[in-house]
Chains A and B, each alone.
Chain A
Amino acid sequence: MHEAGLMAEAMNKAETLAMQCNADAVAGLTLRVGVLSGVALQALQFAFDAMKPGTVFEQAELRLEQVLPRLSCRDCGMEYAAQERGQRCPVCKGSNTSLLQGGELELAKLELIVREDRTS
């Protein structure tokens, strides 16, 4: 259950950005979560719902974008969709692979509500 700490990190960063933009509130925030990041989406949602009352996120919607894994084969250069780490290359059957995507854990988008006279 390390999702609470990660959600807090996302909310801290988002709040800092919201203040820098003189925003009144946050309408939405989007996290990009790789399937292989080891993070459970429900746990992120749970943490967000638990922490948002009384903050700039009170009315905000959390969107969680899943990123499917892709690997590249270091032997033949093939890039392919995979279900798991270390899945063998479909072309040369090699196991010397690296993860191209699917391990992400990012704050990807922030939608702010700003008064017109405060926009810079």
Chain B
Amino acid sequence: MTGTLLHQTLDLSHSLLQHNAGSADANRAFFLEKGLTAISIVSSPGAGKTALLERTLTELRQEIRMGAITGDLQTENDAERLQNRGAPVLQITTGEVCHLEAEMVAKAVEKMDTEGLQLLFIENVGNLVCPAAFDLGERSRVVMLSITEGEDKPLKYPALFAQAELVVVTKCDLTHILDFDMHNLLQNIRRTAPQTKVIMVSARTGHGMTDWYAWLRTQVVPEGWAVVQQA
């Protein structure tokens, strides 16, 4: 039996990120219930995400219970660098995927002992383009750029910089060697992300790390808060 072929048109408004948004919401709910603050860190490859975390996990370990998830296409190198600092660390190797998605984070968190953790760092794959499209369910997104990358990075990758709760400028110990125009960089950050906070650090010398730690303290959920919510 063959009928006449008809054309039928469906008008839709289906977000292609809906699936990811659902997983991100689930992550957010999970973190909230645990009283765990998730902070994602996004930058280009080599900006110093892991170096900053190495120092942070060591220097804040007495004060804040931290963990880290690191994303890379290949290798477990970053996770190995972060080991033995008293914090649970898990590597996500994405294979061919150039960014983390909310579901990958959910699977990693499942494998991790998050009991009692206060702060979870999610180190995204080094990439300033694709991560912008994917909400991970984190509380705050930190965008990092090293001064070796040039002053105009925020203008070249505005989508990501516009999402930044905080911009961390790294490798600031090299400012004088590079003849770097910090004022120009700050203007460019302001142009793409007028409300964003900016701090300048050097994970090598320790310069500015106290500002980074002060900001992290504002992110941590106060002890007992989750319990109060349930009562």
Binding site for B on A (CB under 8 A): 1-2, 5-6, 9-10, 13, 17, 21, 23-24, 27, 31, 36-39, 84-86, 95-97, 105-119
Q: Would you call A113 and B12 a contact (CB within 8 A)?
A: no
- 8 Å CB interface, B1-23 against A: 1-17, 19
Binding site for A on B (CB under 8 A): 1-17, 19, 97-99, 101, 129-130, 132-134, 158-160, 162, 190-195
Q: Would you call B133 and A107 a contact (CB within 8 A)?
A: no
Q: Would you call B10 and A86 a contact (CB within 8 A)?
A: no
Cα distance, A113 to B191, chains bound together (Å): 48
Q: Would you call A38 and B159 a contact (CB within 8 A)?
A: yes
Cα distance, A111 to B98, chains bound together (Å): 32
Q: A2-B133, A10-B16, A110-B12 are in contact. Are A115 and B194 (CB under 8 A)?
A: no
Cα distance, A117 to B158, chains bound together (Å): 51
Cα distance, A116 to B10, chains bound together (Å): 16
With A38-B133, A97-B194, A113-B8 known, 13 other A-B pairs at CB within 8 A are A2-B130, A9-B16, A9-B17, A9-B19, A27-B7, A39-B133, A85-B158, A85-B159, A86-B193, A109-B11, A111-B9, A112-B10, A114-B5
